[in-house]
Amino acid sequence: MDHQMFASSISSLEADIFSGGQLPSPPWPDLDLDDDDIQGLSPPAANATSSGGYGSGGSGSHRKLSHNAYERDRRKQLNELYSSLRSLLPDADHTKKLSIPTTVSRVLKYIPELQKQVDNLEKKKKELTNASCKTGVLNTTESRTPVVSATCLNDMEIMVQVSLPSNVVATTLPLSKCIKVLENEGLHLISSSTYSTFENRTFYSLHLQVHHLYFPRRIPPFLDAYLILS
């Protein structure tokens, strides 16, 4: 009997709710609020929704603005990237504005050309390196030969400079022997100096005097090819 009365009261309550006789249950089921509390909370919620600042309408508008800003930044970044990509193409392609598909097509065609140029440069570099090594071997042999130059200072004086490897100085052509050869050719030594460099070479600098009738008609044979008139 009690169960029937409880079921009957529940049915009456449901009928009143669906017929608009009572307000719906509050959004906080755990709180025990009466009708006055619910009516006091209802107007601010309605105002917030109608104002658009915190309701669903305001939230949707904010999301739309954020989406538009994001898309604008994304398109800007893409345009900058395509512009940078376009600048890598040959100068002939800079005279006209290229569309994005054309730019991508040109780049895909240009990459193999660049790779071919790199391969050719690598090949040329290897050839030059090999040639340089061979030249270095030849220069090692040629560097053993003394290099002589003569500069005419005036009608009576010349400056002779000799360059030779330092290991040849003590054995083949010491300074004393060089002076003796020049004096035998009729030249008179005024002063001399010698110095060595970090490249293992020694330099002789000889200041010589000649007779007026002797110079420049008779130049020592080994100096004739190196004479530089001032």
pLDDT tens-digit map of 114-154: 899 889 888 888 888 777 666 555 555 555 677 788 887 77
Q: Determine contact, residues 83/98, Cβ cutoff 8 Å.
A: no
Task: Report domain extents, the chain.
Answer: 62-142, 147-229
Rounded-to-integer distance, Cα 216 and Cα 195, Å: 29
Q: What is the token pair recorded at 140?
A: 């090692």
More confident residue, 109 or 51: 109
More confident residue, 139 or 206: 206
What's the pLDDT at 187? 84
C-alpha dihedral (13, 17, 19, 23), degrees to nearest 10: 140
Q: Length of the chain, please?
A: 230
pLDDT at 217 over 70: no
Q: Determine contact, residues 202/166, Cβ cutoff 8 Å.
A: yes
pLDDT at 48 over 50: no
What's the pLDDT at 171? 67
Average the pLDDT over 85-114 and give the result: 81
Could you tell me which residues are beta bridge partners of residue 189? 208
pLDDT at 208 over 80: yes
Rounded-to-integer distance, Cα 93 and Cα 108, Å: 14
What's the pLDDT at 139? 55
Sequence-ordered list of residues with C-beta below 8 angstroms from that of 223, at least 6 positions apart, any chain: 148, 150, 158, 160
pLDDT at 25 over 70: no
pLDDT at 83 over 60: yes
Confidence band, pLDDT 50/70/90 cuts, at residue 95: low
Rounded-to-integer distance, Cα 11 and Cα 9, Å: 5
Q: What is the CATH number of domain 147-229?
A: 3.30.70
What's the pLDDT at 52? 46
Rounded-to-integer distance, Cα 27 and Cα 218, Å: 124
Confidence band, pLDDT 50/70/90 cuts, at residue 27: very low
Sequence-ordered list of residues with C-beta below 8 angstroms from that of 205, at least 6 positions apart, any chain: 159, 160, 161, 192, 193, 194
Average the pLDDT over 150-168 and give the result: 78
Confidence band, pLDDT 50/70/90 cuts, at residue 47: very low
What's the pLDDT at 74? 92
pLDDT at 184 over 50: yes
The architecture (CATH level 2) of 62-142 comes to: Irregular (4.10)
What's the pLDDT at 192? 86
pLDDT at 157 over 70: yes
More confident residue, 9 or 208: 208
Confidence band, pLDDT 50/70/90 cuts, at residue 191: confident
Q: Determine contact, residues 143/153, Cβ cutoff 8 Å.
A: no
Q: Determine contact, residues 182/144, Cβ cutoff 8 Å.
A: no
